């Protein structure tokens, strides 16, 4: 989310919480469907329309698009659609397609090309092989909600922790990773989990946050404060809470659902905090297990209820979240929308389910890429026909790029 103008009035009962979204995409060659390092050219072109809403990512095969902070779900959808269309048009002029998938579907050439910039190259050296792992072009979707002080963002984040595995499940969209079905709904979670600090945020107040961050920096675990990758964190450059648990999704409805649910949860958490309600107590290991399960099954099986530790159908856990967030959603005018989009997602399946369905229908990972590229910009690919113009070619490792996927690997 691009830096907003600071409001003169803090958000309160009559002033909606603003929110914004950052989405990361891979660039794939329009002929082969394989990731290509054309971000610099695409961003220079897209910036003519989007300005600093078009941004670089770690790999030169990725781009990021940001919305400004907005007050309504309708405006958020409009901003997301405009941003995607501008990036996709710039990608097309560079001979590539914009694809929303948590990890690259087809094998990528390695070593992965790192974007220009001192910081990205420092991170690459610091992380070593982890930065060049299969699926290293990870693409997430981050939701910012504000305006919040650092104290408020931490307090709200502490209360959101048990609900984030449910959002994790809803947004899974990376079953294929570099030519292989990894046997999970979110391969991105497996890849991302190898980076430092990725996972549920610890329960911290302002003093604890500063002490923890300073310890991570002084020990050399992190190079800078922007490398705090917890699933929820106070933004270091915006007055917001940032929730970063989701895979990027091609279906814009899933992105909007994620954003309104996050904002609804934040609204309820703020009320609870101001009323002095007790903080939910959830063991860290149980929370990690709930996220692992969510990444494995999405909405297609049983998730873990982070409050009780019991296995329950993931769709029921989503219904619980909707009930809990309902007061905040209603106050923000999003309750009906959230219910409709949640029901649609449960019925249609997650992005991971849809990727696997596309592969089952057509038997080609190149066609999965084409379907993702079409849906990313609000279109639909013709059944049985790829949007690419020729057979896909593979990288140096992974399954058969243009044909069948290899068997699911061990997570």
- Evaluate whether residue 127 is within a structural domain: yes
Whether the CB-CB separation of 139 and 102 falls below 8 Å is answered with: yes
Q: Quote the pLDDT of residue 385.
A: 39
pLDDT, one tens digit per residue, over 28-52 is 999 999 999 999 999 999 999 999 9
pTM recorded for the entire structure: 0.91
pLDDT digits (tens, 9 = 90+) for 249-270: 999 999 999 999 999 999 999 9
Q: What is the domain range of residue 39?
A: 18-376
Please indicate, yes or no, if residue 337 is contained in any of the structural domains: yes
Give domain status of residue 197, yes or no: yes
pLDDT at 206: 97
What CATH number should be reported for the domain holding residue 44? 3.30.590.20
pLDDT at 402 over 90: no
Model confidence band, residue 335 (pLDDT cutoffs 50, 70, 90): very high
The model's confidence at residue 304, banded by pLDDT at 50, 70 and 90, is: very high
To the nearest whole percent, how much of the chain has pLDDT over 90? 87
In a domain? residue 411: no
As for how many domains the chain has, the answer is: 1
Mean pLDDT of all residues in the chain? 91
**At residue 354, does pLDDT exceed 90?**
yes
Q: Is 229 a domain residue? A: yes
116 within some domain: yes
Could you report the per-residue pLDDT of 7-27, keeping only the tens digit for each?
333 444 446 799 999 999 999
Q: Is the peptide bond before 111 cis (omega within 30 degrees of 0)?
A: yes
Structural domain includes residue 334: yes
- Residue 5 scores a pLDDT above 50: no
Q: Using one digit for the tens of pLDDT, what is the confidence trace for 46-55?
A: 999 999 999 9
CA distance 152 to 266: 10
Q: Is residue 274 in some structural domain? A: yes
pLDDT, one tens digit per residue, over 372-381 is 999 999 986 5
Please check the confidence at residue 394 and state whether its pLDDT lies above 50: no
């Amino acid at each position: 989310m691009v830096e907003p103008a600071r409001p003169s009035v803090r958000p309160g009962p009559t002033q909606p919480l603003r929110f914004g979204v950052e989405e990361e995409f891979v660039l794939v060659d329009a002929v082969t469907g394989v990731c290509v390092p054309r971000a610099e050219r695409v961003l220079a072109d897209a910036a003519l329309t989007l300005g600093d809403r078009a941004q670089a990512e770690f790999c030169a095969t990725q781009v990021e698009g940001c919305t400004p902070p907005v007050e309504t779900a309708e405006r958020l959808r409009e901003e997301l659609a405009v941003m995607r269309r501008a990036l996709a048009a710039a990608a097309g002029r560079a001979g590539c397609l914009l694809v929303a998938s948590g990890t690259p579907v087809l094998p990528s050439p390695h070593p992965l090309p790192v974007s220009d910039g001192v910081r990205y190259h420092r991170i690459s050296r610091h992380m070593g092989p982890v930065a060049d792992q299969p699926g290293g072009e990870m693409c997430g979707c981050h939701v910012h909600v504000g305006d919040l002080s650092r104290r408020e963002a931490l307090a709200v984040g502490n209360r959101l922790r048990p609900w984030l595995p449910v959002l994790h499940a809803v947004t899974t969209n990376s079953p294929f990773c570099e030519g292989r079905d990894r046997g999970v709904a979110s391969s991105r979670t497996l890849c991302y989990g190898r980076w430092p600090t990725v996972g549920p945020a610890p329960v911290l107040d302002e003093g604890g946050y500063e002490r923890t961050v300073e310890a991570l920096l002084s020990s050399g675990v992190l190079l800078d404060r922007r490398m705090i990758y917890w699933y929820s964190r106070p933004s270091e450059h915006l007055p917001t809470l940032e929730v970063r648990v989701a895979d990027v999704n091609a279906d814009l409805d899933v992105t909007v659902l994620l954003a309104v649910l996050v904002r609804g949860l934040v609204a309820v958490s703020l009320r609870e905090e101001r009323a002095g309600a007790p903080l939910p107590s959830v063991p860290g290991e149980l929370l990690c297990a709930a996220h692992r399960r969510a990444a494995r099954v999405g909405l297609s099986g049983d998730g873990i209820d982070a409050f009780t530790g019991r296995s329950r159908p993931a769709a029921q856990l989503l219904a619980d979240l909707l009930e809990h967030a309902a007061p905040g959603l209603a106050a923000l005018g999003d309750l009906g929308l959230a219910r409709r989009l949640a029901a649609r997602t449960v019925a249609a399946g997650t992005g991971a389910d849809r990727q696997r369905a596309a592969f089952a229908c057509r038997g080609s990972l190149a066609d999965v890429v084409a379907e993702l590229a079409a849906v990313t910009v609000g279109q639909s690919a013709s059944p049985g026909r790829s949007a690419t113009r020729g057979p896909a070619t593979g990288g140096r490792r992974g399954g058969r790029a243009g044909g069948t996927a290899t068997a699911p690997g061990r997570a």
